[in-house]
Structure 1
Amino acid sequence: MGTDRRNAGGRGFRRTAGAAVALAIAVAAAAGRAAAHSGSLGGSVASATVPTWLVILTGGVVVGGSFLFTSLLTDHDAMRGVNWWRITVPTPARLREIGAFTLRIGSVCVLLLVLATGFAGPRTPTRNFALLFVWVGWWAGYTTTTYLVGNTWPAVNPWVLPADGVRRLRDRLLGDGEDPSIPEQWGVWPAVAGLLALVWLEVVSPVGQNPRLLAAVVLGYSLVTVAGAARYGDVWFERVDPVSRVFAAYGRVAPFQRGGGNTDGDESTGGEGVVTLRLPGTALTEDPLPDRPGEVAFVVALLWVTTYDGLVATPTWAAAVEPLVAVGVPALAVYAVILLAGFAGFLGVYRLAARKVRNTADTYVTARAIERWFAPALLPIAAGYHLAHFLGYFLGLAPALGAVALSPFAPPTTLALVLPGWFGTVKLLCVLGGHVLAIWVAHSLAFELFPGVLAAIRSQYPSVVVMIFYTMSSLWVITQPYAPPPYV
């Protein structure tokens, strides 16, 4: 019976995943031509005002210099004193339950409003609540809070209550039963595929400019998510849902963390119900990623998709892709191939660095374990680049969102806020800040994994080279002006 149920669970999961894939293909086909960087609502982030070559060179020097500085810090106890510092924030259980329920009710109402204004609201992008809320308020603004403050998505997730309701109704009609399981060998690869698919869909379709299309995508995603969570339980959000995993990954960078963490032998402050205030990024220095297929790939994918989202809106991309489209190569295929090739390249570079770490540290630790151990150090890079990529976008369109939110079905005429020229420097500082924090996290992880000082320092040589590569790539992208391809 158990085997039959697991097989049924695997078949059911494939049907659910197949429905999601069919939806993505249908939306992309309906979109027709590729609409690069559609989530930008026309592109609102200004490029840097300093020479590109100087920005890139300076970024590489800053990251390299940060490594040289941290390599002088070899007092392991002092590093642990920084990384393990925390303040426990009182959070009564009853207050957490009421707060989470209230937030979920509110988020369901906002989701319904997004669907209503998407299907029936104004078609003008800067006057449509659904477009402004999803791209400006949620993907740009809310995502920023997950790594600057803390991950509140488990309490906000609008699909939890509907999924619980469907599950209770199912159990009442069919009787209680064990939830089918997703095959363990799949790990979190479904979430990796989902993240890549979502970004591809955002890039190749006008989902950031067409409120009707956006509403259809949100509705389809909601149906798939509710069905999956109702059938498989919380494991759906842990291993399949890319949105939940993105926020969970970013949340590890934040200063507010759930759980007491490592308290140097004192377990009195541990537990999932505890909220602690820590220095940003220090939570990454304690626990490696779970030993599960796809965990490292998801972190690398998170780093790559933000880079890709900016890459497709550069003049270089337009110049490279336009000749291919002109001779009849489908733009959808071009975007998909580059998305997958870039992801494979980023993942390959990281795995190569992990093997080099094993050699330079002269350790018995396997390359696979090293990959999992140091992967959290990539998260501050992803967060820093997301902040650089979307901060100006959020600030520029936040006034429009506020005005439209007051009257979503009859919004006033809105204008975007024009940011000053020096804002490009803020973007550069966001990228560099994320990379400097990543250097500290990698340095701390090295001293936790390898015995002695020399092995820990030598192990970081390949990682620093990879981080400089990521830094210079990110800086090059954000210094480029917004340039949608001429075939859009």
Structure 2
Amino acid sequence: MTAVLAHGLGGSTDLPIPFTFALIGASWALTVSFVVLAFAWKTPKLDPDRPGRALPDWVTRFADSPITRNVLAGVALVLTAWVALAAFFGPSTSADNALPGVFYVLLWVGLVAASLAFGPIWRVLSPVRTVHRMGCAVLGRSPGERNRRYGDSWGYRPAVVGLFAFVWLELAYSNPGSVTAVRTWCVAYLVTTLAGAVVAGERWCERGDPFEVYSTLASRLSPLSRNRGDGRIALRNPLDHLGSMPVRAGSVALMATLLGSTAFDSFSAFPWWQRTLDAAGGPVAETLARTAGLLVFIGFVGVSFWAATRATGGLRPEQRAALPGLLSHSLIPIIIGYVFAHYLTYLVEKGQATVILLADPLGRGWNLLGLGNAEVAYILSEHPSATASIKVLCVLIGHVLGVVAAHDASVRILPRGHQLTGQLALLLTMVTYTFGGLYLLFGG
């Protein structure tokens, strides 16, 4: 795997917090949180419709201004073209080309951070949306004119396919850092997503674009959101906003793909797994083995969550069948916690290296904004104890928030008499995710 794909800090020898201490802390955090919730949180307290504290009117006017949105969309389109220079005419090696870093660092990980800070920002930045809107303006039609062609039964399934294609390239393909491979993936994404928007309107972007769905999912934990009544931007309890995630076909598969793939990424660094791949007998066999491993991790998350959420009594069959989707939003904090625990060093340090490469996309010695002379500041790698603590806290906070969200939704959904016992299987599953995540994070 190329240098740009060397995620995180590595195995347990790089993380100075003893693994046993991390597990004890995790078990106490989850046990105490559940006991408190069970005895002090007996009625629903989270409300997606609860208005937040509205920010001054000028904030909403500025964010909604056509000038603001057009400028941001234009800048994103120019940056896309700039990265395309590197993709098609830049150096052929991933160490010297900015494309893999933009793809795996700034887009995949940076998008989560930006969406947490500013909301579903990909709706504004998406080059596909921008090109589609420009085409609609030329043809004199509304961007949402063909929304009805996107069937309700599709749900998030096209986005799940796109997200799986991304994680497959990163984690299963034999040469994920290849400029050619990343360029091919990006071209396929742009063509497919733009064709979907042309055929099915902007609803395709909203539900079928993997990056927009990923951005929207992360934004559910942002403190910034819209009040439903007047549309003003407001500060809210992120857990209130979390419950507003629409339940659509593919909701559980979406969460399982994101959580399972991140877990597999950590697992893939285990020495014995690397030895197994080395003995596989060639790139094709290695790719097949990694693909099988990736599917196992995603399948485990999906099946275990599906089974745990349905393990309650007092419900009709149709109500029980709806539970996995209704509770799927509780996995969002866990996913976000894992993303930052696993990719934090990657984002901060590889992100800097990528920006430096972007100053010279063609590899001709350009020095835009003086970035060519910049050096990467290894802020996190030079402070391993603090970094390890941050990573563990990301996992624990994500799981505690997940338990809170699941408990509140269960109290709201489950029938009286089953509101506590009906959560036990889900709690056990989340504890398993926590211990498993820390075990994988520490490299066993």
Q: What TM-score, normalized by structure 1, do the two folds share? A: 0.78
Contact 2:145–2:201 (CA<8 Å) still a contact in 1? Answer: no
* AA matched with 2:301: F
Pair 1:351-2:309 in alignment: no
Q: 1:81 to 1:377 in 2, by over 3 A?
A: closer
Aligned residues of 2:403 and 2:427 also touching (Cα < 8 A): yes
CA RMSD of aligned residues (A): 3.1
> Where do 1:219-238 residues align within 5 Å?
219-238=187-206
**Paired residues of 1:151 and 1:254 also in contact (CA < 8 A):** no
Q: Distance in 1 between matches of 2:199 and 2:46?
A: 42
For 1:480, the equivalent position in structure 2 comes to 443
2:213 alignment partner in structure 1: 245
Q: 2:17 aligns with which of 27, 50, 55?
A: 50
**Helix, strand or coil at the partner of 1:60:** helix
Residue type matched to 1:130 in 2? L
Paired residue for 2:111, among 142, 155, 170?
A: 142
From 217, 237, 251, the equivalent of 1:279 is 237
Structure 1 residues 110 and 300, CA, compared in 2 at 3 Å: closer, same or farther?
same
Deviation at residue 44 of structure 1 after TM alignment = 4.4
- CA shift digits 1:261-295 (9 cap, x unpaired): 4xxxxxxxx15x3322112333123x4643x3212
Stretch moving more, 418-427 or 140-149: 140-149
Aligned match of 1:461:
424
What's the counterpart of residue 441 of structure 1? 405
CA pair 205-301 structure 1, distance change in 2 beyond 3 A: closer
User: Matched residues in 1 for 2:157 and 2:352: separation?
Assistant: 38
Q: Name the CA distance, whole Å, in 1 between partners of 2:146 and 2:351.
A: 45
Query: Could you say if the C-alpha distance between residues 327 and 432 of structure 1 is closer, same or farther in structure 2, counting changes exceeding 3 Å?
Result: same
Find the aligned partners of 1:334 and 1:65 in 2 and give their Cα distance: 40
Structure 1 unaligned runs (5+)?
A: 1-34, 262-269, 482-488
Q: 1:371 to 1:57 in 2, by over 3 A?
A: same
2:422 is aligned with what amino acid? S
Which of residues 407, 419, 430 in structure 1 aligns to 2:382?
419
Q: What is the aligned counterpart of 1:303 among 259, 262, 280?
A: 259
Q: State the shift of 1:183 in Å.
A: 4.3
Describe how 1:139-218 pairs up with structure 2 within 5 A. 139-167=108-136, 181-205=149-173, 209-218=177-186
Name whichever of 300-309 and 381-390 sits farther off: 300-309
Q: Please, which of 396, 400, 408 is the counterpart of residue 432 of structure 1?
A: 396
Q: Deviations over 1:11-53 (max 9, x none)?
A: xxxxxxxxxxxxxxxxxxxxxxxx4xx6853344344223334
| 1:401 matched to 2:354 | yes
Distance 1:318 1:75, change over 3 A: same
Q: Does 1:338 align with 2:293?
A: yes
Distance (whole Å) between structure 2 residues aligned to residue 193 and residue 398 of structure 1: 26
3-state secondary structure, aligned to 1:254: coil
Q: Name the residue aligned to 2:345.
A: 392
2:250 aligned residue: 294
User: Residues 472 and 393 from structure 1, CA distance in 2 versus in 1: closer, same or farther, beyond 3 angstroms?
Assistant: same
After superposition, the Cα gap between the structure-2 partners of 1:311 and 1:166, relative to the gap in structure 1 and judged at 3 Å, is farther
Deviation at 1:312, TM superposition (A): 2.0
TM-fit CA distance, 1:127:
4.2
Query: Could you tell me which of 71, 86, 89 is aligned with 2:52?
Result: 86
Contact 2:225 2:236 (C-alpha < 8 Å) held by counterparts: yes
Contact 2:37 2:407 in 1 (8 A): yes
Provide, for residues 60-118 of structure 1, a one-character-per-residue CA deviation record: whole Å limited to 9, x for no partner.
332222211222223637x3489946211331278432222111111111111111012
User: Does the alignment pair 1:132 with 2:101?
Assistant: yes
Residue pair 1:300, 1:347 contacting (<8 A) in 2 also: yes
Which stretch shifts more, 376-385 or 390-399? 390-399
Q: Report the number of matched residues.
A: 424
Q: 1:12: which partner in 2?
A: none
When structure 1 is superposed on structure 2, of 419-428 and 303-312 the one drifting more is 303-312
Q: How far off its partner does 1:139 sit?
A: 1.8
Deviations 1:289-313 (A, max 9, x none): 43x3212221222221222222223
Q: Find the residue that maps to 1:276 and give its secondary structure.
A: strand
Residue 54 of structure 1: how far off its partner (Å): 3.9
Distance across 2 between alignment mates of 1:106 and 1:327: 43
Per the TM alignment, residue 464 of structure 1 is displaced from its structure 2 partner at its CA by 0.7
Q: Secondary structure at the match of 1:428?
A: helix
Q: Deviations over 1:194-238 (max 9, x none)?
A: 211221112234765333432332223212221221221112113
2:31 matched residue in structure 1: 64
User: What is the SS of the residue equivalent to 1:76?
Assistant: coil
Q: Deviations over 1:422-451 (max 9, x none)?
A: 111211110111001111111221222246
Evaluate the alpha carbon distance shift between residue 328 and residue 249 of structure 1 in structure 2; reply closer, same or farther with a 3 A threshold.
closer
**Counterpart AA for 2:53:** I
How many angstroms does 1:329 deviate by? Answer: 7.2
CA contact (8 A) 2:63 2:69 kept: no
Query: How many angstroms apart in 2 are the aligned matches of 1:192 and 1:388?
Result: 23
Shift of 1:136: 2.5
Task: Determine the C-alpha separation between the residues in 2 that align with 1:165 and 1:327.
Answer: 46
Q: Which runs of 5+ in 2 are unaligned?
A: none
Q: Deviations over 1:310-344 (max 9, x none)?
A: 22233242244444x13997222222222223222
Distance in 1 separating the partners of 2:237 and 2:301: 28
Q: Residues 295, 123 of structure 1: CA spacing in aligned structure 2 closer, same or farther, 3 A cutoff?
A: same
User: Which amino acid letter does the alignment assign opposite residue 19 of structure 2?
Assistant: T
TM-score (norm 2): 0.85
CA spacing shift, 1:197–1:353, aligned 2, 3 Å? same
Range with bigger deviation, 132-141 or 90-99: 90-99
Residues of 1 paired with 2:181 and 2:283: CA distance?
26
- For the 8 Å contact 1:85–1:279, the answer to whether it is kept is no
Change (3 A) 1:216 1:389: same
From the superposition, tell whether residues 104 and 332 of structure 1 become closer, same or farther in structure 2 (CA, over 3 Å): same
Shift of 1:180: 7.4
Aligned partner of 1:103 in structure 2 is 72
Identical amino acids, percent of aligned pairs: 23
